Structure 1
């Protein structure tokens, strides 16, 4: 009865892990959608999609192995599940490490934040800022029309500077659609700014800004920093889901191992809880 209960339990838990693979797969697809619309980074969601599909397939194998008491299938299930858990742990650590540094800076009299590339470092920053990738990312951000969607009409007229300054902008909007605040540009509308009366700031992005709607600040370091900040925010949300799923998978793995041992005992005709080796001629003297 205990053996059957253990196998039925692992079958049920694997059905649950099959359901849990759906959020992981959905997270990868969500990041892919985010990449096409805002982040424009599509090289990090594939591990999530692969992990989600792998958990889905191996859960079906574990379900079949437990229900039909197939020891070989259960052994294969345990090996692959162990590898999936190890990869998932490594992936969670990797995601936190590459998105560890950097955040927006508060600006006086503004509700939005400004973003600076020097606040970020490491593998992800080097990859995003490289000429090989930034050209593609910049084109993707421009084609998404995220800056043109920034415009608002209030009472039949464009919003005023004071109204714009109290808006909560996304990192992409703040970094790519306007010049850095320190450049002292004068607001005309959300994507058109004129140089102020004073000198332009020392930030190189001050000279990179253009009122050309196809250029804006897409070549600015602040735009790269905005992409990094947006990516960090997305990946931290996904990591929370991955941690919960990882904990559940570890629990399922422990129970699956117990079910596997039960199957081996049944295959060897061993009584549950009995010793594997017994003497052919037991001694008459018992201690």
Structure 2
């Protein structure tokens, strides 16, 4: 029973080692095949995650199974730092996504979104031109507006549709603009239209490559989508955090076993 914790840590880290191989392989594959900004964005995080899992799992595996205490100590240190990081990120995710919600518009089955409703930290991320250029490219690559226009709906069908935050904010002009419906992603400006007090009305273009991709409503739609995703990630992180604490506790038992075995081995050698 004394070696149970060492064996369990060894098995867990062997599984982690196996998991790191396809993750690292996917990152390397993307680095050679990526053609869009979204794919390139995933390339470095995947490689970094793969290398991290590979190194840490090897340290835990060798440290537990071969009774190498200094490797197991490094493993436990990294695990403790990871627990702190996941805990802090979970709290941060709940805090920055606490504000912001879509607004129900009269006569519409979907919600519209305002950038000012979200936290200042999130607003600064999408207002940064460099960040937004990458996000805008990803939205275009995802063809989210193309999928909306392919529905070929009538106006009545459209206004009762349950649009996603991205479709509502990036693919259509705000309802307050009072544009005339042509199809889901084409809206005519009223005759004699001049600059509106609503910035997004001036920004909207029927050009499929422009639409409302630079609108404040589009940036708000991205944040609404991000908020929903981060809420889910935060919940998953709580489960992951509990798992990490359990593994860390087992690792501490394995470390004590190593110290005890090394101590007895040292005494036996001196006897």
Structure 2 length as normaliser, TM-score?
0.79
Within a 5 Å distance, the mapping from 1:185-200 to structure 2 comes to 185-195=179-189
How much does 1:42 deviate?
A: 8.0
Corresponding residue for 1:244?
A: 239
**Is this contact kept in 1: 2:165–2:221, CA < 8 A?**
yes
Alignment size in residue pairs: 258
Q: What is the SS of the residue equivalent to 2:3?
A: helix
Q: Which moved more, 1:194-203 or 1:107-116?
A: 194-203
State the 1:219 CA deviation: 2.1
Note the residue ranges of structure 2 that are not aligned, 5 or more in a row: none
Partner deviation per Cα, 1:50-76 (whole Å, 9 max, x = no partner) = 456524531332122212222222112
Of 125, 131, 134, 2:132 maps to 134
Q: Which has the larger share of helix?
A: 2
Match of 2:96 in 1: 98
User: Is the contact made by 2:9 and 2:247 (CA closer than 8 Å) also made in structure 1?
Assistant: yes
Query: What's the CA shift for 1:245?
Result: 1.7
**Change over 3 Å in CA distance of 1:104–1:218 after alignment to 2:** same
User: Distance between the aligned counterparts of 2:21 and 2:233, measured in 1?
Assistant: 13
CA RMSD in angstroms comes to 3.6
- 1:146 is displaced (CA, Å) by 2.4
Partner Cα separation in structure 2 for residue 160 and residue 7 of structure 1: 65
Q: Which runs of 5+ in 1 are unaligned?
A: 271-275, 277-287
Equivalent residue number for residue 68 of structure 2: 70
1:173 to 167, 173, 181: 167
- The 5 A counterparts of 1:1-287 are 2-15=1-14, 50=48, 53-153=51-151, 158-195=152-189, 202-269=197-264
Change (3 A) 1:198 1:168: farther
Residue 208 of structure 1: how far off its partner (Å): 2.0
Q: Tell me, in whole angstroms, the C-alpha distance in 2 between the residues paired with 1:115 and 1:224.
A: 9
Are the structure 2 counterparts of residues 211 and 18 from structure 1 closer, same or farther at C-alpha, using a change threshold of 3 Å? same
State the Cα deviation string for residues 79-138 of structure 1 (Å, max 9, x = none): 122122222222323333333321211122322110111111222211211233323433
Q: Distance in 2 between matches of 1:212 and 1:223?
A: 16
CA drift of 1:249 comes to 1.0
Of residues 207-216 and 8-17 in structure 1, the stretch that sits farther from structure 2 once superposed is 8-17
Distance 1:196 1:91 in 2: 47
C-alpha contact (below 8 Å) 2:97/2:119 kept by paired residues: no
Contact 1:18 1:59 in 2 (8 A): yes
3-state DSSP class of the match of 1:269? helix
Which deviates more, 181-190 or 48-57? 48-57
Deviates further, 74-83 or 140-149 = 140-149
Q: Residue deviations 1:151-190, cap 9 Å, x none?
A: 135xxxx320111112221211110111111222221101
